[in-house]
Amino acid sequence: MTLHEDPRRFLIHLFQAALRAVQPEYCLPPHLPAPPAGRLVILAAGKAAASMAATAERFYGQRWPGTKIEGIAVTRYGHTCPTRHVTVLEAAHPVPDEAGVRAGRALLSLATSLGPDDLGLVLLSGGASALLTLPPDGVSLEEKQGLSRALLASGAPIADINTVRHHLSRIKGGQLAEAIAPARCVTLAISDVAGNIPAIIGSGPTVPAQGSGQDANAILDHLNIPVSAALRAHLAKATRLPAADAPCFSRASYQIIATGTDALAAAAALAREAGYEVSIVGDDMEDEARTLAIAHARMARSHTNPGVPRLILSGGEATVTLGDKRGVGGPNQEFALALALALAGERNVHALACDTDGIDGGAGEADDPAGAIISSRTLERAAALGLNAQRALDEHDAGTFFSQLGDLVMTGPTLTNVNDFRAILVST
């Protein structure tokens, strides 16, 4: 049996191809700048921070031997890898912790030490917003933790969440670029946000902020999230962030080096070689996991070319609005469960939904799932085991459901992050 004749194995193979395309060792070296006359200081943050820093170290060691490198990389617990010159610090994600505060303080301190002949090489990836937690005066870590939990549970898009985060940090919203100045600042980013907007990736520490403090308060009002009077007052004062024409941006450049589109393209190329007709919906789909699942089920049912096997690919970020029911799982697992229910009665359909960081809604442990895989027999198999798919969906307990079926996808931390990867195979 060839690989594409085994749908489950083929879906895993497609996901692996997508991950390879956005690994730092593949996408970062072509964009690394020449070393400066002064110090080369790496300031990395995100789930790919350690991997990006290690890749940069190897590149300079081979291309420019003798380059003196120093730096700090702040990454999620368990997402580290060996480095020679850059200090790797781990912190919590998605809810920040004290380790993140210490890491943010250390990174900002190093940034402020750069001089005119130095280069601040900022290596940015998804997760940096939570990992670089350095609250401004008057805002406590506990307040930020409570707000983070509420924002995450609200199902709000990441753009809104990061607009709030801009104004509750001493690093985000261009403030890291301000600290690096007068040194040259080069930011290379792996994007995990829809639209690949620099101000949203990692809350834009080296670019002008998107939105004002008043906008942040309006978002909190819209989401009906209660916050302390002190935090409201802080946002209302419209904390000064560097304006777009601030001097710190005159020596700053920004480049996105990998996106969800790159991951989808790699999977599409592999599928086309196997004879599939490929439809790439896009890498910027943002909505509730259940809503996305219904839309994808509709696409899977539309047989535009009968007799030819089809692959539907998409990325972006599925969200889940949590109520009183809070089971086990993440947005991709919830999408997969909702898709299985929406495809009830369809034959010859298999699908995979995973987070490219290898962690879908988990606590960051090595055995957290990346997502889940389904087939036309998922509901039948579940019923035979006495599992109620609709109840699991209603209780946001897709993780338990797929665990009992043996259909979780386990990768461990992938050391990259371009957000969700969804693939649906429609066989003839």
pLDDT tens readout for residues 339-349: 999 999 899 99
Residue-wise pLDDT for 188-246, tens only, equals: 999 999 899 999 999 999 999 888 888 888 999 899 888 888 788 888 775 678 999 99
Residue 216 sits in a domain of what CATH number? Answer: 3.40.50.10180
Rounded mean pLDDT, 27-32? 98
pLDDT of 2 strictly over 60: no
Position 101: which residue type?
V
Q: Give the residue with greater pLDDT, 137 vs 5.
A: 137
Distance CA 148, CA 129 (A): 11
Same domain, 197 and 285: no
Q: 77-81, 217-221, 279-283, 419-423: which range is least confident on average?
A: 217-221
What average pLDDT does the structure give for the chain? 93
Rounded mean pLDDT, 86-92? 97
Distance CA 423, CA 299 (A): 12
Phi-psi region of 191 (alpha: psi -120 to 50; beta: other; left: phi over 0): beta
| Residues in contact with 120: Cβ distance below 8 Å, sequence separation at least 6, in sequence order | 41, 43, 111, 114, 180, 183, 184, 185, 186
Same domain, 281 and 220: no
The pLDDT assigned to 4 comes to: 55
The pLDDT assigned to 241 comes to: 87
| Residues in contact with 232: Cβ distance below 8 Å, sequence separation at least 6, in sequence order | 217, 220
Residue-wise pLDDT for 247-304, tens only, equals: 999 999 999 999 999 999 999 999 999 999 999 999 999 999 999 999 999 999 987 7
Same domain, 99 and 126: yes
pLDDT of 330 strictly over 80: yes
Residue-wise pLDDT for 352-375, tens only, equals: 999 999 999 866 566 789 999 999
Edge-first strand listing for the sheet containing 119-125: 86-91, 69-76, 40-45, 119-125, 184-190, 252-258
| Residues in contact with 119: Cβ distance below 8 Å, sequence separation at least 6, in sequence order | 33, 35, 36, 38, 39, 40, 41, 183, 184, 185, 186
Same domain, 238 and 272: no
Same domain, 366 and 294: yes
Same domain, 99 and 10: no
Residue-wise pLDDT for 152-195, tens only, equals: 888 888 888 888 888 888 999 999 999 999 999 999 999 999 89
Q: Give the residue with greater pLDDT, 116 vs 230.
A: 116
Whole-model pTM: value is 0.93
Same domain, 324 and 230: no
Distance CA 337, CA 297 (A): 12
Burial 388-398 (b: 16+ CB within 10 A, else e): ebeebbebbbb
Last residue of a domain, one of 208, 225, 258: 258
Same domain, 248 and 266: no
The pLDDT assigned to 1 comes to: 35
What are residue 371's DSSP bridge partners? 354, 409
Q: 34-38, 87-91, 97-101, 224-228: which range is least confident on average?
A: 224-228
Last residue of a domain, one of 258, 283, 301: 258
Same domain, 227 and 314: no
Same domain, 212 and 284: no
Residue 332 sits in a domain of what CATH number? Answer: 3.40.1480.10
The pLDDT assigned to 238 comes to: 58
Last residue of a domain, one of 209, 225, 258: 258
Same domain, 130 and 198: yes
Range of the domain at 410: 3-19+260-426
Q: Is residue 200 within 8 Å of 162, Cβ to Cβ? A: yes
The pLDDT assigned to 82 comes to: 96
Nearest to 1 by CA among 205, 381, 274, 293: 274
Distance CA 195, CA 23 (A): 20
- The total of structural domains in the chain comes to 2
Same domain, 78 and 224: yes
